[in-house]
Amino acid sequence: MPDLRLEQVTFAYPGDVRVFGPPGLTLELKAGATALVGENGAGKTTLTKLLNGLLRPTTGNIVVAGQPVAERTVAQMAALVGYAFQNPDDQLFQRTVYDEVAFGPRAMKRPAERVAVAVKNALERCGLSQEAKTHPHDLGLPDRKWVTIASALAAESPVVVLDEPTLGQDWAAKGRLKALVKSMVDSDRLVLIVTHDLDFVAEACSRTVVLTRGVIRYVGPTISAFADEGMIHEAGLDLPSTTRLGLALGFQPVPVGEGAFLRAIGSKR
Amino acid sequence: MPRGLSIYAEGNSALHRAHPFTKGTLTLVAIAIGFIAPSLAWVIAVAVILLGLLTLADVIRRFVPVALGILLPITLLLLIVQGFANPANRTVFFPLGPLSLYREGLAVALLAAARIFCLISATFLLSFTTRPADLAEAMMQRGLSPRFGYVVQSALQIIPQSLESAARIRDAQRARGLETEGSLLLRARAYLPLLLPLVLSSLVATQERAMALEVRGFGLSVHRYRRVVLPDTGVQRALRWFLVALVPLAIGARFAGWR
């Protein structure tokens, strides 16, 4: 069973501002790291907000982890879809990082022991254990972003949405993020990463969904998505640097990610 | 992107082209006359003139649903409160079991509702036909400090920006399991997680806005050139004086027995 299924989903904001028109979006995703890419205004964030009921589709059905979204409130969906928003300051309000990360599981009325374990685990995996008692607003923006990622993690949901997780992150932090995504995938979760950072996609996401102007242009392996340079450009993006370099050097197949590029270089020697 | 707290409707009517001060004067005078006028018939006459001007400005279709949305609940409340409980109630208009609606109270309610209608229609006439930026610019051209002009304009932008922030914050907290709908207690509990990020982000935005202004030389004491020059003709000035003169005339008429 797919972790996520959209069936002919159409959506328009009030005032008939259409984002997904007929015949609607149809999409199935299973556990793994999937990138959701597209130009600004393509509908990426709208799509993710449909997954937890923050927005309701005009027509069509959405099923997450076997549960129809239409039959659940947003608060109920929080147990199924962990969501790290783009701007951490939209959610931080507790006095400590620990309480901030614990807010979601507590709101879901989970037992205290389970909350403690989930929070400790999330803080460790996000490199925030030393900051548990720090006020979130005493942290820099990149670390505040990690607090929101830890919050999404602590929900222990089968689906995790990370909206622009690499924004403002340095190289080392991106490496930690890649490792975190891999560990979530290893625990059989679906990680949906909304991003413009195709270098990160190349490193961390095995699958990619390309959304342009409210239409799904591509769903499949990232390596095949990056083989279609025209489609990537149409989505307002550019290929990862290693892939562009590989193309310029005439490598076939086109290398996706540093590892693939280094292997391609090695084979040429 | 926030549109700003403006309900300006694009148009090229005489009212759209009029100087903001002329429209502002018209608004204030219409409201004043509406409240000075002694009877329902006179207040309705002011309301009819305002409706005519709204039609002339081609904004009547936008005005009607807004006005009804505001006026209907207020009128209903006035009719109930005044109709049943006005101390001057003597003449039964409509008996309702143990209670009765009284003619005197209903008359007071209708007069109040008509005056509120004048207030609403005059205010919307100004709002629909005047860009807030033009109003602030007109005030600055008459010597208002650019700092105050900025405060006026930024206030009009900050409110919708804050509303957008509030919506984003609500989404972020709901996505973490916060119940924001349901009983009063549930909603009260949701207050803190929604309010604190909003206050913090507003403070940060205010600081950033102030810094952005200063680095662009906002505080410099230099001669400022006008972005736009709003035409103000002799006819418009005369019209403003005529409108202003109507207010003391109306007050005088009331003292002289205008009924």
Q: What tens digit of pLDDT does each residue of B52-109 get?
A: 999 999 999 999 998 999 999 999 999 999 999 999 999 999 888 888 999 999 999 9
Confidence of residue A238 (pLDDT cuts 50, 70, 90): very high
pLDDT-derived band at B2, boundaries 50, 70, 90: very low
Question: What would the pLDDT profile of A173-213 be if each residue is shown by its tens digit?
Answer: 999 999 999 999 999 999 999 999 999 999 999 999 999 99
Question: Under a CB-based contact definition with an 8 Å cutoff, are residues A40 and A86 in contact?
Answer: no
Contact B47, B60 (CB under 8 A): no
Q: Would the pLDDT of A149 be above 50?
A: yes
Residue B158: its pLDDT value, please?
A: 73
pLDDT at B162: 81
User: What is the pLDDT at residue B256?
Assistant: 92
Q: Is B203 on the interface with A (CB under 8 A)?
A: no
Contact A160, A205 (CB under 8 A): no
- The full length of chain B comes to 259
Of B44, B59, B43, B61, residue with least CA distance to B126: B59
Closest-approach residue (CA) in chain A for B1:
A41
Split at pLDDT 50, 70, 90, the class of B5 is low
How confident is the model at residue A100, as a pLDDT? 94
CATH of A4-222, one of 3.40.50.300, 3.30.365.10, 3.40.50.720, 3.30.450.20: 3.40.50.300
Q: What is the dihedral of CA B235, B238, B239, B243, to 10 degrees?
A: 180
What's the gap in Å between the CA of B208 and the closest CA on chain A?
15
Higher pLDDT, A250 or B153: A250
- Contact call for A107 and B176, based on CB within 8 A: yes
Q: For residue B196, give the chain A residue with the closest CA.
A: A93
Residues in chain A: 269
Q: Which two tokens stand for residue A162?
A: 């990370």
A136 has pLDDT over 60: yes
Q: How far is B174 from chain A (nearest CA, A)?
A: 6
Taking any CB pair shorter than 8 Å as contact, residues of chain A touching chain B are 49, 52, 54, 73-75, 77-79, 81, 83, 85, 87, 89-93, 103-105, 107-108, 137, 151, 155
pLDDT score recorded for residue A2: 63
Closest CA to A108 of A75, A156, A137: A75
> Closest partner residue to A78 among B176, B193, B196, by Cβ?
B176
Disruptive mutation site among A89, A108, A164 for chain B (greatest number of B CBs within 10 Å): A89
Q: Do A107 and B179 count as a contact with CB atoms less than 8 A apart?
A: yes
Looking at residue B230, its pLDDT comes to 79
What count of other Cβ atoms lies within 10 Å of the Cβ of residue A62? 23
B172 in reach of chain A (CB within 8 A): yes
Asked if B177's CB is within 8 angstroms of A75's CB, the reply is yes
**In this predicted model, what pLDDT tens digit does every residue of B221-233 receive, in sequence order?**
777 777 677 788 9
Q: For residue B200, which residues of chain A lie inside 8 Å, CB to CB?
A: 89, 92-93, 137
Residues 6 or more apart in contact with residue B41 via CB below 8 angstroms = none
CB contact under 8 A, B165 and A90: yes
User: What pLDDT does residue B197 have?
Assistant: 87
Judged against a pLDDT cut of 80, whether residue A13 lies above it is answered with yes
Asked if the model's pLDDT at residue B181 lies above 80, the reply is: no
Average pLDDT over chain B, rounded to whole?
87
Give the mutation candidate from B162, B169, B176 for the A interface (greatest A CB count, under 10 A): B176
Closest CB to A89 among B171, B192, B197:
B197
* Contact between A137 and B200 using a beta-carbon 8 Å cutoff: yes
pLDDT at A269 over 80: no
ipTM of the complex: 0.82
Chain B residues near residue A151 by CB distance under 8 angstroms: 176
pLDDT greater than 60 at residue B33: yes
Say which of B175, B196, B197 has its CB closest to residue A52.
B175
Question: Which residues of B fall within a CB distance of 8 Å from A78?
Answer: 174-177
Q: Is B210 on the interface with A (CB under 8 A)?
A: no
Instruction: Please check the confidence at residue B3 and state whether its pLDDT lies above 70.
Output: no
DSSP state of A131: G
**Nearest residue on chain B to A52, judged by CA atoms?**
B175
Identify the pLDDT of residue B221: 76
Predicted confidence (pLDDT) at residue B1 exceeds the cutoff of 50: no
Please tell me which residue of chain B has the smallest CA distance to A108.
B177
Query: Are B178 and A107 a contacting pair at CB < 8 A?
Result: yes
Domain spans in chain A, listed from the N-terminal domain onward: 4-222
The answer to whether B103 faces chain A, any CB pair under 8 Å, is no
Look at residue B142 and give its three-state secondary structure.
Answer: coil
Mean pLDDT of A6-22: 92
Does the distance separating the beta carbons of A91 and B201 come in below 8 Å? no
Half-sphere exposure of A149 toward its Cβ, with a 13 Å CA cutoff? 30
Q: Could you tell me the pTM of the whole model? A: 0.72
Residue position matching structure tokens 């909350």: A115
CA atoms of B171 and B165, how far apart (whole Å): 10
Q: Is the pLDDT of residue A19 over 80?
A: yes
pLDDT given at position B232? 86
Burial (CB count within 10 angstroms: exposed 0-12, middle 13-18, buried 19+), residue A83: buried
